[in-house]
Amino acid sequence: MEISYRIASLNDLKIISELSIEMCSGDFCGEHDENSIKEGLQNPQMALFLAFDGDKAVGYSYVYKRHEWIFTENEEGPFGYLDTIYVHPDYRKNGVARALASMCENWSRENGCVEFASSCDLDNDNSLAFHLNIGFNETHRIIHFSKSLLPSALH
């Protein structure tokens, strides 16, 4: 298996959309809809990278530049933020995710970021292990809360 990598362009919108749907197992992923992906591909503060086995897309990663503090070691940015990384299950444990994350890290460095950050859900042990394995340090644990203010929820 020889995997090739490259930065994505608008011509890759369909490929990224299909990988996003695959990642979400058919469920709706709000920030991964086609319009959001298109906006990301057009935004110079973001980059998407693709992994291919021949002509078959097998993974992607998405990084963007953030200026607000995001629980990193440094309190002043900008920060590169690894937002999404997905590799098709048949290609996992072969260095594909590591290579995609490295591309995002390099993009962050080249775009003036002082630190590279990411996150995962508290119960996502695979993602936690991956992040630690590629050199991230855990900085915070957090649980988000929400309370609806719509009339039907106030009863």
Residue 95's CATH number = 3.40.630.30
The mean predicted confidence, pLDDT, of the chain is 87
Strands 46-53 and 56-66: antiparallel
- 149 domain-assigned: no
Name 149's Cβ contacts closer than 8 Å, sequence gap at least 6: none
**Residue 22 falls inside a structural domain:** yes
Within a domain: 56 = yes
Is 78:66 a contact under the CB 8 Å cutoff? yes
pLDDT in tens, 70-129: 666 667 778 899 999 999 999 999 999 999 999 999 999 999 998 999 988 889 899 999
150 in a structural domain: no
Structural tokens at position 56: 């078959």
Q: Scan for tokens 């719509």, then name that residue.
A: 150
Q: How far apart are CA 49 and CA 129, in angstroms?
A: 22
36 or 18, which is more confident? 18
The whole domain housing 16 covers 3-142
pLDDT at 28 > cutoff 70: no
Is the Cα torsion angle 125, 126, 127, 130 positive or negative in sign? positive
Q: Are 132 and 138 in contact (CB under 8 A)?
A: yes
Residue 61 lies in a domain: yes
Rounded to two decimals, what is the model's pTM?
0.84
For 42-153, strand residue ranges (E) read: 46-53, 56-66, 79-87, 115-118
What is the pLDDT at residue 74?
65
DSSP bridge pairs for 31: none
Please state the domain count of the chain.
1
Residue 53 lies in a domain: yes
At residue 56's C-alpha, the angle toward residues 53 and 62, to 5°, is 85
pLDDT at 14 over 80: yes
d(CA 47, CA 64): 6
Cβ atoms of residues 72 and 115 within 8 Å: yes
Is residue 151 assigned to a domain?
Answer: no
Is 26 a member of any domain? Answer: yes
